[in-house]
Structure 1
Amino acid sequence: MNDDLLEWAKDLAPRVAALAPEIEAQRRLPEVLLEELFAQDIFRALVPRALGGQERELPEFMAAVEVLARADASTAWCVNQAGVFATIAALFEPEGAAEIWANERCAIGNGPPPPGTAEVVDGGFEVTGRWSFSSGCDHATWAAGLARVQHGQRKETRMFFFSQEDVSFSDTWNVRGLRGTGSYDFSVDAQFVPARHTVSFDRSNEVATARYPGALSSIPMVLMFGCGFAAVAVGLARGALDDALAIARHKTARFDRAALNADPHVLEQVGRAETLLLAARQLLFPTVSQVWSAVVAAGEISRAQRILLRMAATHCIRESARIVDIAYNIAGTDAIHEDQSLQRRFQDMHVITQHVQARSAFYPGLGAFFLNGDWPDSPYI
């Protein structure tokens, strides 16, 4: 294991880039790559040390994700998805956490809402449900899904962990972008889950910080997801722009026979894209670093800091899409072929923009906060 996570990512990136066509074609991460990811213990990078993880800093983790995304977005997406989700370990009692995260070859594939249903039974719960978009579930050691439990007049939302042997997978991942994430559906039917393999989301940050004080427990998981996926987007954008520049340096326009690297319109587009990329990165990474340092010092995150993370994450993803579109237009018909990495990056980016973390619908709530001091009614801030 390399103690320098960024250097590890830089060393791995060329091999990831070489595997990218296979990753897309097979719609999963190949075993040769998984061996390197597990050897670095990357999927437990944000798990508390007391539970067998590395307890890395979020900015350090994001920097590595960005480098991997420049090589292949699907790989970086799987790393961020499983890495950030693993912070849920802080909610578990030690016995349950040890059974799930003690294995060095550990990765969790989870499914977002809508939730399933669960009934209280002797020793635990009986769970039924189907969950979609479970990125990396093919190489995961556990699957996790939300379900609602009825307690009289009160409903409780809990996360349930299932061993891979107890779930049924459905290959529904027939998409044009992020194909390598293998984000299948999985389901269970009246599956018993012992109480130690489930956690409540009620007061989740309060519970986590009480057990494992620190920034990883204080910053809401949904915002860490957003910032990590923004790192994927901006790394992807850098890769797409690099592809376009490589094409433009040697391409001559088909009809007017003018070299692209001397075309004023192309030069303007390159200058604009580089500016947008620099601005997006300078909003994302310094903001996350500043908030991280402040939360480490204070032991808690403020509302204003949560707003800043949401702003940085969503803006960076959306600006990254603009950059990829510019790169795609610069390359012209060279970008449309399936064997072009720029075509893969274009498709990947326009799947990322459909994710909840990229929603422009966040902006009215942000505006209300700045204009009126109103706290947004959103679970994503």
Structure 2
Amino acid sequence: MATLVERAHELRPLIEEQAAAAEQERRLAVPVVGALTDAGLMSMCTPAAYGGAETDPVTLIEAIEAVAIGDGAAGWCSMIASTTSSMAAFLPAETAQTIYGDPQIVTGGVFAPNGVGAAIERNGVTGFAVTGQWAWGSGTQHCQWVLGGARCDDGTFRLCWFPQDDVDFHDTWHTGGMRGSGSLDYSVSDAFAPASYTMQPGVTPPVVDTPLSRFPNFTLLAAGVSAVGLGVGRHALDELNDLAQGKRPQYSSRTLAQNSFTQIELARAEAKLRSARAFLLDELDGAWATIAEGAAVTIEQRTSIRLAATHAATVGATVADAAFTLAGGTAVYDTSVLGRCLRDAHVVTQHIQTAPKLNEKIGQLLLGQDTDISMF
């Protein structure tokens, strides 16, 4: 049976074929959503107790990267849905089985506490009436369950799961990059979330205690976001390589591949991308080994992973920039894959978990300074 990473690579032709349509429609094409779901690439972190793959972080990153090589938006949606599925471990078992027990169900949403919840009882069930609107709802239009963070009047911060019928979607996703991810705004109004369909981040202990449930959630998310950047960067360099074999710039008798400047800059870009990828995977592997030994991931390890993830996101954009520039005027047309890679790569660096400004906090930790690590 093919591994998740192998399945992701096998889907590349379909993902590439549908990428232009996803950009046009500003959401993933239905065939791609179906193929990713069938391949288990939208729920890679679902606990084995509920029939999921319970994927280790290294495999997760390699699989997301492989999807993103085909199309950054597809990799982004696979990343969001899969990291969201890791939350299944913190829900009551019956709820988790209902939402995550069916491999055809996809979940997604936003952690940010943009909702407000009022503790109430409806039909004998205790829960919260939630109202709020969230931005960056990547792939939520193809999710059967959508979650959102809410501050509740009992003094708690909760992630709340809502069936899609309770969710309104807003046509806000008009962007430069990641157009195909469908990361529009969504909202709920007085939607009832039973208490059993909520959990408190950092407070609720895992119901299913596994190595993956003990891996820091934000660290996993940051690594996943950066994996998209690595995939986009890889796609850009592959596209440049293919283009360079035959393209002869105006007034030149040599192809791009025969041009010394192209050769030098491509070599540098390859070194940057491969190094960033190796750094990230090495740090994840070390942290996973720590958990396998029964210990907790240390703050030093979390810092190193966040450094590697932020660096990988930056490098993904850097090499996409280089490929775009080396390709010349060909790249500026809407039909150019390199144009899409350029735009998508720069969305990765805007994510709160991989933005360059995180280097300040990472530097503080490396220097032994006190700083807020609640999002680490």
Equivalent-residue separation in structure 2 for 1:95 and 1:369 (angstroms): 40
The question of 1:104 aligning with 2:108 is answered no
Q: After superposition, where does 1:218-233 map in structure 2 within 5 Å?
A: 218-233=214-229
Residue 272, structure 1, aligned to residue 268, structure 2 = yes
Query: Which stretches in structure 1 are left out of the alignment for 5+ residues?
Result: none
Three-state SS of the structure 2 residue aligned to 1:146 is strand
Verify: 1:32 aligned to 2:31, yes or no.
Answer: yes
SS at match of 1:244: helix
Letter in 1 for 2:248: T
Percent of paired sites with the same residue: 30
Q: What secondary structure does 1:188 align onto? A: strand
Question: Displacement, 1:258?
Answer: 4.5
Give the corresponding residue for 1:85. 84
Alpha-carbon contact 2:113-2:151 (below 8 Å) kept: no
Kindly indicate whether the alpha-carbon contact (under 8 Å) linking 1:214 and 1:296 is maintained by their aligned counterparts in 2: no
Distance 1:375 1:55, change over 3 A: farther
Match of 2:369 among 346, 349, 374: 374
Distance 2:357 2:31 in 1: 40
Q: State how far apart, in whole Å, the 2-side matches of 1:294 and 1:60 are.
A: 16
Aligned match of 2:152: 149
* Residue in structure 2 matched with residue 15 of structure 1 by the alignment: 14
Say if 1:85 and 1:221, in contact at 8 Å, map to a contact too: no
Q: Residue 140 of structure 2 aligns to a residue in which SS?
A: coil
- Offset at 1:149? 1.2
- Structure 2 regions of 5+ residues with no counterpart? none
Aligned residue for 2:133?
A: 130
Is 1:323 equivalent to 2:319 in the alignment?
yes
Greater CA drift, 305-314 or 102-111: 102-111
Is contact 2:4-2:40 (8 Å) kept?
no
Match of 2:292 in 1: 296
CA contact (8 A) 1:156 1:202 kept: no
Cα distance between partner residues in 2 of 1:146 and 1:201: 9
For residues 262 and 37 of structure 1, do their structure 2 counterparts lie closer, same or farther at Cα, with a shift above 3 Å needed?
Answer: closer
1:339 alignment partner AA: T
Change (3 A) 1:166 1:180: same
Aligned length: 372
Distance (Å, rounded) in 2 between the aligned partners of 1:28 and 1:315: 28
Aligned residue identity for 2:203: R
Deviation at 1:352, TM superposition (A): 1.5
**With structure 1 as the length reference, what TM-score do the two structures score?**
0.93
The worse-fitting range, judged by mean Cα deviation, of 357-366 and 328-337 is 357-366
Indicate conservation of the 8 Å contact 2:77/2:181, yes or no. Answer: yes
Cα drift, residue 336 of structure 1? 0.6
Q: Look up the match of 1:165.
A: 165
Deviations 1:70-94 (A, max 9, x none): 1111111101111011111111111
8 Å contact 2:37–2:43 — kept in the other structure?
A: no
Whole-Å separation in 2 of the counterparts to 1:158 and 1:315: 31
> Following TM superposition, by how much is the alpha carbon of 1:256 offset from its aligned partner in structure 2, in angstroms?
4.8
- Give 1:41 deviation, angstroms: 2.7
How many angstroms apart in 1 are the aligned matches of 2:218 and 2:269?
A: 28
Query: Which residue identity does 1:99 align to in structure 2?
Result: T
Are residues 370 and 350 of structure 1, via their aligned partners in 2, closer, same or farther at CA, if it must alter by over 3 Å? closer
What letter is aligned with 1:379? S
Q: Deviations over 1:177-228 (max 9, x none)?
A: 1111111211111122111111112424xx12xx333331122211111111
SS in 2 for 1:249: helix
1:215 touches 1:300 (CA, 8 Å); kept in 2? Answer: no
SS in 1 for 2:115: strand
Instruction: State the distance in 1 between where 2:208 and 2:289 align.
Output: 17
* Structure 1 residue 252: Cα displacement: 2.0
Over aligned residue pairs, what C-alpha RMSD do you find? 1.6
CA deviations on 1:92-115 (whole Å, 9 max, x unpaired) are 111221221122211112024252
Structure 1 residue 324, shift from structure 2 partner: 0.7
Range with greater deviation from structure 2 (113-122 or 359-368): 359-368
The separation in 1 between residues aligned to 2:187 and 2:366, in whole angstroms, is 42
Could you tell me which residue of structure 2 aligns to residue 361 of structure 1?
357
Distance (Å, rounded) in 1 between the aligned partners of 2:2 and 2:370: 40
Query: What letter is aligned with 1:380?
Result: M
Instruction: Give the secondary structure class of the aligned counterpart of 1:356.
Output: coil
Shift of 1:127: 0.7
Q: Secondary structure at the match of 2:293?
A: helix
Please tell me the residue identity of whatever aligns with 1:127.
V
Give CA-to-partner distance per residue, 1:241-300, whole Å, 9 cap, x none: 111122222222224554322322222211111111111111111221221122221342
Structure 1 segments of 4+ aligned residues over 4 angstroms from their partners = none
Tell me the SS of whatever aligns to 2:173.
coil
Aligned residue number for residue 118 of structure 2: 119
Give 1:215's aligned amino acid: P
Instruction: After TM superposition, give the deviation of residue 375 of structure 1 in Å.
Output: 4.6
